[in-house]
Amino acid sequence: MAKHLKNLLFSAFPLLCILFLLSISFSQTSADTPPATPVPPSKLCKSTPFPSFCNTVLPSSNSSANVYDYGRFSVRKSLSAARKFLSLIEKYLRKSKQLTITAVRALEDCKFLAESNIDHLMSSFQIVDQTSKTLSVLEADDVQTLLSAILTNTQTCIDGLQATASAWRVRNGILSPLSNDTRLYSVSLALFTKGWVPKKKSRPSSSIPAGRKQLKMRNGSLNLKMSARNQAIYSTVNKRRLLQADSGDNQVLVSDIVIVSQDGTGNFTTINDAVAAAPNNTDGTSGYFLIYITAGVYEEYVSIGKNKKYLMMIGDGINQTIITGNHSVVDGWTTFNSSSFAVVGTGFVAVNITFRNTAGAIKHQAVAVRNGADLSTFYSCSFEAYQDTLYVHSLRQFYVECDIYGTVDFIFGNAAVVFQNCNLYPRLPMSNQFNAITAQGRTDPNQNTGISIQNCTIRAADDLANSNITIRTYLGRPWKEYSRTVYMQSFMDSLINPAGWTIWSGDFALNTSYYAEFNNSGPGSNTSQRVTWPGFHIINETDAANFTVSAFLLGDDWIPQTGAPYTAGLL
């Protein structure tokens, strides 16, 4: 009997091998189904953050549908949901006389954000509706950025309503549909990522080397290319001689120039009037509309809307040209609309300007700059406030050779942003407060967002350095569930707490956040006593390269035209 069984197994061995190989092949195919292959929604939904909700959304009647079909359906449904939500907000705002001013402000934020979502979804749908194949790296990053931003916008609306006590009358009627919208947007982002995004985001650039880009800029100086008329105007008022004499390919193209001067010698006496005079919806091909702001303290709340694209603002230098306000949460503003300066126009560039919120630590959240401008750059600028100084709200941003001052969460938001060669200055907070440099707000694992801090210097501001009080200062804390922040090749002074990072609330996001450090220096960079959360990592060069300007922002394709100096890769 044993011999017979042995012979039977021996004769069946080839068949067993074939079946085994087939099973491996099938498991590999089912695990990584090509996007164009028909797939049931129940299987596809498993790859989204909300499988059960996804199953209720995607149609199950079409057996030949694939990732692209479901992705288009989800984005189209998301657009419909965004429009319905905007109508709901407008309905509540029509009854604004029955609401407090703080509730109205929160609703106005939601209206602004809902309108932005509609724009982002329309742009996204135009692209996904045209192709059923993996997109180029640049196209995929554009759409993933927009779909990431709609989740950020929705969460910002939720945060504003929840933080506004007087909004309780409208909160319940709004938060419920927003919860469903958030899950729908998350499904759309997941399906887009699965179908249209290439596996490898970064791409080699043969035309631009990996090192530092020298674009004839020194200490906040730009090499500007403009007409003889504009050059004459600029040279007349520009005592710092920012304009270079040579004419090369590295010049920054300028289409027109206006001067803001408080003494009446320029074209305008206020910044907002100059912004209003800028052309609408330009594509940047003819150059930047340059607003030159002479030295002075400009006490005005500047807002650069979505129709004011490719504006460049140049001041007379840090602490010379100052834009300042004092709105705060304590005084009835939402965090979102407390900013002294706000920008959402694509391609914005600021150089040699100080942005300030003077509300003080006692007024809690008080933003100096809120930036939701895609492909925006701040070069040789300073940002001064206490809690929530710089709101890197959404989309793609770059900051180089800037100074940022603050206390609690003073760099926060959910943009894809790189800070390079900047100085970060924790200040003296109120009693019983600690300092947290960052509070990153990523809410979804498919968002291409995060804060990357490279070759920066972290030192105590003068008020903290000269204080006898011991203040705990941390690199960051997890504001949202998938918070992501990386410090690399930066100097950290002794003020950094040995733990490095601190909690938001209990064990919230300690498993799902991503915090990393790479090759930092200084007494505060010692990682031997760092937190032991699953989300904290000491990374190697390969992982760190993912958070460089070239890889994380695809900056080689848009930063050179701004004239700002930058390092594409690691140092």
The catalytic residue positions are 409
Q: What angle do CA 449, 350, 328 make, to 5 degrees?
A: 70
Q: What is the DSSP string of 188-242?
A: HHHHHHHHTS-S------SSS-SSEE--S--SS---EE--HHHHHHHHHH-TT--
CB-based contacts of 361: which residues, under 8 Å, 6+ apart? 386, 387, 407, 427, 428, 429, 430, 433
CB of 530 closer than 8 Å to CB of 559 = no
Q: What is the DSSP string of 397-455?
A: EEEES-EEEESEEEEEES-EEEEES-EEEE----TT--EEEEEE---STT---EEEEES
Q: What angle do CA 270, 271, 272 make, to 5 degrees?
A: 95
Closest by Cα among 301, 280, 283, 290 to 257: 290
First to last CA, the chain: 72
Helix (H, G, I), strand (E, B) or coil at 124: helix
Q: What angle do CA 223, 229, 234 make, to 5 degrees?
A: 45
